[in-house]
Amino acid sequence: MTVAPKREAYDVVVIGAGPAGLAAAATSAEAGLSTLLLDENIGPGGQVFRAISSTPVTERNQLGADYWVGADLVQALRASNAEVIHRATVWSLDRNLEIAVSIGGASAFVKAKRVILATGALERPFPIPGWTLPGVMTAGAAQTMLKSSALVPDGRTVIAGQGPLLWLLAAQILRLGGRIDRILDTTERGNYFAALPHAFAFLTSPYFTKGLSMMREVKAKVQVVSGVTELAAAGEGQLASVSYVAGGKRETIPADLLLLHQGVVPNVNLAMSAGIEHRWDDLQLCWSPVLDASGNSSVAGIAIAGDGAGIGGANAAVVRGRIAARAAVEALAPAVATKLAPMATLRADLAKAERGRVFLDTLFRPARQFRIPTGDTIVCRCEEVTAKDILDAVAIGATGPNQLKAYRRTGMGPCQGRLCGLTVTELMAQARGKTAQEIGYYRLRAPVKPITLAELAAVPKSEADIKAVVRG
């Protein structure tokens, strides 16, 4: 693995080393295309296969068989001729397929003939009262510590929310000897009926038996409260208790750690900053890029693979990565493409991997009250803007997220809207009686990740660049 790009230009640049990125980079490199894989983490794997090459958790049953699939993907990548750079922060991508990346405290620019974005997913915001208190974390953050360092909670722990990751994390914590005092399931009862038309596809998918087994494993050891309709964290300076309403009854329990999760959504910031068209997905309740069957976006030369193209899970992400890479090979070296798996085969594999997905998306559709907060609940964590602040801004003329920036600076902090963007869109849509599509999203620009002036100053300069700014 290299520490700086060896070239100024590549056939294919893949951004993100999760399931999709690993598969895409290996496929492209194996076809003989010059390939660069950029990833901001210390090692390959993304979130799904986090620390796959370095995890201290060596007993395979503790993390589950699905996790160790990542080792095969990493091995395939390392066997290829792909150039891999970790701890690389990509902060700009433009329509000319020029990529700005910071590595080791200095920025550089790389040109590509094709770019494959494999930036994965983010956890959906879960804005409840007290969610910014120390002691309140996302399930994904807890899983990162578990995979990277084998750290599990030993204090009074509550897990709240819904979705497959919640149950997977709970099972992993228990297998490693961690403590879970209670699970608060926020799945709406009406979702079960709404999901019924899609049940057959789910029952014949790989998700069913694995999911059922995992839920049984957890419920045998932990008290699970279903039908939670209200949720709040409380404490002076740190989490002390969690209160919830289920079956019309309120209960408050002591807690040292609250782990929140209500699904994942595509990480769209880099794609949006490149000018790629996105549409609001009414089923997954998020922004998704507009793509063709090969993952190609509205910007020529840029494809999107994995959960960044729409949430589909790890297996689907791997196949999407291979599809995007094959399309790049077809465009740049058609003769070589015939040696790869046929596109028809890959699309059949994708359909199989995505079987049952609509059932899960319908069942685990987050409730409105957990997506659209009220009152003094913080929405924008970076700028400490509350739901009331946003509604007040709407009342005096703010029409959308970009106008809101001028009123309240929402989305202008270090996260650039990653933790508040969806909430702001839905909150403003509700307040103005508009659809999320009509309200829109933040207008994102480079740099999409915070960088220092020193990193910019370290960009290599030509003689012409220097002469352009030197007086005399």
Q: What architecture (CATH level 2) is domain 125-262?
A: 3-Layer(bba) Sandwich (3.50)
Closest CA relative to residue 118, chosen from 45, 268, 40, 16: 16
- Read off φ and ψ for residue 331, nearest 5 degrees: -75, -35
Q: Is 5 exposed, middle or buried (0-12, 13-18, 19+ CB in 10 A)?
A: buried
What was the pLDDT predicted at 2? 52
d(CA 101, CA 168): 34
The tens place of each residue's pLDDT in the chain, 472 residues long, gives 457 899 999 999 999 999 999 999 999 999 999 999 999 999 999 999 999 999 999 999 999 999 999 999 999 999 999 999 999 999 999 999 999 999 988 999 999 999 999 999 999 999 999 999 999 999 999 999 999 999 999 999 999 999 999 999 999 999 999 999 999 999 999 999 999 999 999 999 888 998 999 999 999 999 999 999 999 999 999 999 999 999 999 999 999 999 999 999 999 999 999 999 999 999 999 999 999 999 999 999 999 999 999 999 999 999 999 999 999 999 999 999 998 999 999 999 999 999 999 999 999 999 999 999 999 999 999 999 999 999 999 999 999 999 999 999 999 999 999 999 999 999 999 999 999 999 999 999 999 998 998 888 887 777 887 787 776 5
Tokens of 159: 């897990």
Name residues whose C-beta falls within 8 Å of residue 166's C-beta, 6 or more positions apart in sequence. Answer: 139, 159, 183, 261
CATH architecture of 372-439: Orthogonal Bundle (1.10)
pLDDT for residue 472: 55
Residue type, 440: G
Residues 232, 218: Cα–Cα separation, whole Å: 23
Q: Is 143 left (phi over 0), alpha (psi -120 to 50) or beta?
A: alpha
Q: Answer whether the bond into residue 164 is a cis peptide, omega within 30°.
A: no
The CATH class, in words, for 9-122+265-340 is alpha beta
Sign of the dihedral through C-alpha 364, 367, 368, 370: negative
Q: Of 11, 1, 148, nearest to 88 (Cα)?
A: 1
- The pTM score is 0.94
Q: From 99, 95, 104, select the one nearest 37 (Cα to Cα).
A: 99
Closest among 416, 406, 407, 431 to 380, alpha carbons compared: 416
Residue 461 pLDDT: 76
Q: Among all chains, which residue has been given the structure tokens 């309240």?
A: 408
- Cα 101 to Cα 41, 98, 318, 447: the distances in Å are 13, 10, 24, 10
Tell me which residue has tokens 């790389």: 110
> Phi then psi for 267, rounded to 5 degrees?
-85, 100
Asked if residue 239 lies in contact with residue 254, where contact means CB atoms within 8 angstroms, the answer is no
The secondary structure of the chain in percent helix, strand, coil, rounded to multiples of 5, reads: 40, 20, 40
**Contacting residues for 193 by C-beta, under 8 A, at least 6 apart:** none
d(CA 310, CA 304): 9
The residue with tokens 């193209």 is 309
The candidate with the shortest Cα–Cα distance to 323, out of 298, 353, 282, 278, is 353
Residue whose C-alpha is closest to residue 138's, from 229, 44, 285, 265: 265
Longest dimension (CA), the chain: 78
| E strands, 222-317, in order | 223-225, 228-234, 241-246, 249-254, 257-262, 264-266, 278-281, 286-289, 302-304
List alpha helices for 333-459, DSSP H.
334-337, 343-353, 357-363, 387-395, 401-408, 421-432, 436-439, 453-457
Nearest C-alpha neighbor of 195 from the set 213, 211, 219, 218: 211
- Would you tell me the crossing angle of helices 421-432 and 401-408 to the nearest 10 degrees? 100
CATH 1.10.10.1100 residue ranges of the chain are 372-439
Burial of 227-237, coded b for 16+ CB within 10 Å and e otherwise, reads: ebeebbbebee
d(CA 126, CA 423): 9
Helix (H, G, I), strand (E, B) or coil at 446: coil
What value does the CA radius of gyration of the chain take, rounded to a whole number of Å?
23
Where do the CATH 3.50.50.60 domains begin and end in the chain? 9-122+265-340, 125-262
Measured in Å, how far apart are the chain's first and last C-alpha atoms? 44
